[in-house]
Structure 1
Amino acid sequence: MKKLTFLYVTLFLAILSSCSNDDSDDLIDFSVTFNTATISTTETETTTEITLNFSRAATEAGTITVSYSGENATYGTDFSTAPAGNAGSISIPVSVGDLNTSITLTKILDPVEGTTKSVTFALDGFDNTDWMNGSLTSSTVSFSPIAALNGIIDLENGGSNMPNQVYFDFSSGVQTAVKRDTWELAFYNGTENRVYLNSSLLVSAAELEGITDLLSVTETTDLSSPLELNTLDPMTFQPTTVTVNTVSDLLQGLPVGYFQYGDIQENIVFTDSGAGELEGTAFAEVSTTASENNVYIIGLGNAIPTEAAEPGSINTTGDHRGFMKVRILSDGNSYTIQYADLEETTNFSEVTVSKNDSYILSAFSLTEGQPVSVEPAKDSWDINFSGVFSYYGSQGPLFAGLTYSDYAVHNTLGGVGLYQVTTYERDSEGVVTEFDVPSYANFARGDVDESSFIYDDRTVIGSGWRDAFGGTLRDDRYYVLKDAANNYYKLMFTAYVSNEGVRGNAQFTYERL
């Protein structure tokens, strides 16, 4: 049995380390498409980018002509553009190597209350006869908020290191990119006092049961009682147990990885749950009675590498960023964060962060010692394309700290529901079974199954939309989403890598139902 387990694990590791890359010297057609059909703006936004994406990098220079027309909007009076418009037309230069271009619209006058104002841009020709229109040939900018109709989104995860996590809001068509190493902890702004970890950075946390004096903790500190924890033997990769007596012992198994310590049966887990529910945080609920809140050791996660990976591969996990000790207090309306370096015994830092009902979570950087802006407002994002995602769980027969790439989660804490539609299944013999469901193109509002929406597990999309081992995009599934304002959308991934084969450049298309 041990030999079989070892062979299984060896094969498993070999698969994990493998990648494939299908390159071709043949250029695809050069087409131009707007990345979204509608763009919504607010009163406070004075400028808006209208993006045109290319099917591949331009191999020769040229010019795109875009026409525009306004509804209750006159050029020079209500709006202007860069490049400048002339008699209803804009000429946009394209240079060799460009993957996209854009028009900047500047609002001069907002609409009078009770009226609408918008500008529609449309592809109107190219000076290169080999260029052609893509799937979206027009885009309308509304001067006031509207629900977006559809779009093609190139995610800004930043390439093979996946340095950014991206929040996307379907109703506005807006994505917000944030460096994933700008924060470690996030505080829940609802009625419960909960602390979340930055799973995209592989942050972990371990409670020191019965220890409330932050400055008394160092690596040599004894735990209140020994822990028997599970891990994997680094030589045989077979399950084994370790006895943890001190903080120093604990540090060996705190970083997220295959050798992370834990015991799911005893509810000893040093990451948040994959599903993301309030009760699944590594931190216990913060008590308003200070004496009930213990010290935690925080694994600060892994640095973002700067060296790009080979095409088709990823390089997302750098050196471990070390450890800090933290104690969180709360009065129900705010959180007080006490923190220090692990070996500090004289002074600790303390910062109070008030709850803000406009946001689900408020992020905090332990390394910078201050709150940071990460999540958009709670009603302004539906999906987080985190790029990297980690939690403690099972992979086959093994329990370990798992890390995934190309990952997406939906905003379950914000009331967003989502489910997957599977169009066919291929078994191990290659036999295909097609299911009696509409294709993505034919799926309409009447096909929505309200009972299928999942509101308590954020990982429905996860990384299942692509085949990392085969280096391909899965074409057997798409997704249906219902946002908190009861708008319905369908979405399907349309690219796994860039035109040059670089990971961290995914693309999806969506449409409001």
Structure 2
Amino acid sequence: MKRFYSFLVLLAIAGSIVSCKKDDPPAPDNFANFESASQGIDEATTEVSFAVKLSRAADKDVTVNVQLQDSGVVYSTHYTTVPAASNGALSITIPAGSTSASFKLKKASDIFLSGSEYVNFTIQSASTPAKVGSTAALKVLFSSIVSKGAANFQLSGIAGSEAGSSAANSVFVDLSNNKQTPVLRASWDLGFYTGNEFRVIINNTTGANAVKVNKTDINSVSLADINLTTTPLTFGQGEGDLAFVDDVTGDLTKTVIGEVSANDADNKVYIINRANGGGFGSLYAGTADSLIKVRVLKTATGYTLQYASIKETTFKTVIITKNTSYNFQHVSFNKGAEVTVQPTKGAWDIEWTYNTYKTALSADAYVPYAYPDFVLVNDKGGVKVAQILTTTKTYDAYAEADIVSTTFAADRNLIGSSWRSTGGPGGGATGAKTDRFYVIKDAVGNVYKLKFISMGAGDGGTRGKPVIEYALVKKS
């Protein structure tokens, strides 16, 4: 009897499990979409990438077939794609565990175009378990566009398998062109200003620190010239010194590396902790041997960079010629050369990144602090911004007539971390704040309103992949 009773209990449990499985709701559809419905290629651009994104990662490879239809241009004559198209179509694969894959359009050189030419890309099919989404058509014009806006525009902050709270990419966003440009934060070490002044920045997105050595002979500088106990060149957990990082407001008159002088004798050596190997604000690669020494000289057309590892006695040289199409030109110590980081100064409005800012220890004492999910405004490129609380005006209600009463500021940090909550004492759940939005005036006068939709567990988003929505309020 006892055995029979046990059998009935097991049978009931098994039935309950089966019933639960039957009652579990099906997973939502996984859609393949373009990031936006339109994008432009200006005259100076020769290559551009377009991403196809899934709603979420799939457990197996997803093959997406894309059809091409052009007007005014001919494939192979005026443009090509990578991967190559065959019979008016191309195929890309989104690997298992990933949420996106890209293809490139390459514009031929030495061709004349009127600007009315375009290519339509259309997602024709996506293999199981994905389906074709609602943003399945992308029109690419061979000229600049002024976007009317985009909804559910997800930024690609995560580069690989890293946690979203330490996303490896900085993401530059050009609202008028529906374009984002992800760049590895650790891909550069120094930025050289292209304006009238001769200024150099260290990497604010990796927690770099630097200190001046009262020497001009870079080959003679060694670990003996720095006391890492009194000058640790690191920060975090209430430690660190704002004197060893660039001004957190972006004021170029307050960079760690002083203004580069025409008198070489005034240009001292600096020791830099790159801080992009061992974690934000720590010693690069975890050892003092990885410190870099640099000296920058002024030339008629730009800069001469001298650099070496702290233990080396012979320096290397990189020549930087100012290119005023950019705010800064960047150099990587690893590559020993210039690298492209920011898009041209008129081709981005905001940068989502990990950033060095400050936090208060007391009413009048501040230390450097690492902020993830920080949004910087392209103030050097002429972009201005305003924050609007929804108690004053809602996002949907904000219109062209409201621009005249909006106070715009050329403030790099105005958005900063104010758009999200990351939990902690009194901080609430991690997510985008819904009580505010931002109005952005780009360098040519187009005005957009922008709000953050999601970014974390508290709002159903993904940390490191925030979703924004923006709309054109007034065209310049």
Normalised by the size of structure 1, how large is the TM-score? 0.70
State how 1:149-188 maps to structure 2 within 5 Å.
Answer: 149-151=148-150, 152-158=152-158, 159-160=162-163, 161-188=166-193
Aligned pairs, how many?
A: 431
Distance 1:404 1:197 in 2: 17
Counterpart contact for 2:115–2:143, Cα < 8 Å = no
Structure 1 residue 509 corresponds to structure 2 residue 473 = no
The structure with higher relative contact order (CA 8 Å, sep 6+) is: 1
Structure 1 residue 218 corresponds to structure 2 residue 222 = yes
State how 1:32-43 maps to structure 2 within 5 Å.
Answer: 33-42=33-42
What's the offset of the Cα at 1:343?
Answer: 3.9
| Inter-CA distance 451–347: structure 2 relative to 1 (3 Å threshold) | same
Which stretch has the larger CA shift, 48-57 or 362-371?
Answer: 48-57
> Where in structure 2 are there 5+ consecutive unaligned residues?
1-23, 424-428
Deviations 1:387-409 (A, max 9, x none): x1114553554522200111121
Q: 2:307 aligns with which of 339, 346, 350?
A: 339
Counterpart contact for 1:165–1:177, Cα < 8 Å = yes
What's the offset of the Cα at 1:292?
Answer: 1.7
Counterpart contact for 2:382–2:443, Cα < 8 Å = yes
Counterpart contact for 1:288–1:332, Cα < 8 Å = no
Distance 1:48 1:363 in 2: 20
| Inter-CA distance 323–65: structure 2 relative to 1 (3 Å threshold) | closer
| SS class of match (1:247) | coil
Higher helix share: 2
Which stretch has the larger CA shift, 467-476 or 368-377?
Answer: 368-377
Distance 2:129 2:216 in 1: 72
Structure 1 residue 375 corresponds to structure 2 residue 371 = no
Which stretch has the larger CA shift, 26-35 or 193-202?
Answer: 26-35
| Inter-CA distance 318–79: structure 2 relative to 1 (3 Å threshold) | same
One-letter amino acid of the structure 2 residue matched with residue 150 of structure 1: G
Query: Which residue does 1:329 correspond to in 2?
Result: 297
Counterpart contact for 1:359–1:378, Cα < 8 Å = yes
| SS class of match (1:181) | helix
Q: 1:491 aligns with which of 450, 454, 472?
A: 450
Counterpart contact for 1:480–1:490, Cα < 8 Å = yes
What's the offset of the Cα at 1:494?
Answer: 2.0
Query: Which residue does 1:477 correspond to in 2?
Result: 436
The percentage of counterpart residues that share the same residue type is 30
| SS class of match (2:259) | coil
What's the offset of the Cα at 1:49?
Answer: 5.3
Query: Which residue does 1:362 correspond to in 2?
Result: 329
State how 1:90-239 maps to structure 2 within 5 Å.
Answer: 99-100=99-100, 114=114, 116-120=116-120, 134=134, 136=135, 138-151=137-150, 152-158=152-158, 159-160=162-163, 161-208=166-213, 210-221=214-225
| Inter-CA distance 286–502: structure 2 relative to 1 (3 Å threshold) | same
Counterpart contact for 1:360–1:413, Cα < 8 Å = yes
Query: Which residue does 1:320 correspond to in 2?
Result: 284
What's the offset of the Cα at 1:196?
Answer: 0.7
Query: Which residue does 1:408 correspond to in 2?
Result: 375
| Inter-CA distance 371–110: structure 2 relative to 1 (3 Å threshold) | closer
| Inter-CA distance 176–29: structure 2 relative to 1 (3 Å threshold) | same
Structure 1 residue 296 corresponds to structure 2 residue 270 = yes
Counterpart contact for 1:66–1:91, Cα < 8 Å = yes
What's the offset of the Cα at 1:332?
Answer: 5.2
Name the Cα RMSD after superposition: 4.1
| Inter-CA distance 80–350: structure 2 relative to 1 (3 Å threshold) | closer
What's the offset of the Cα at 1:105?
Answer: 6.5
Which stretch has the larger CA shift, 333-342 or 281-290?
Answer: 333-342
Normalised by the size of structure 2, how large is the TM-score? 0.75
Distance 2:292 2:114 in 1: 54
Which stretch has the larger CA shift, 50-59 or 502-511?
Answer: 50-59
One-letter amino acid of the structure 1 residue matched with residue 185 of structure 2: R
| Inter-CA distance 447–350: structure 2 relative to 1 (3 Å threshold) | same
Distance 2:249 2:460 in 1: 34
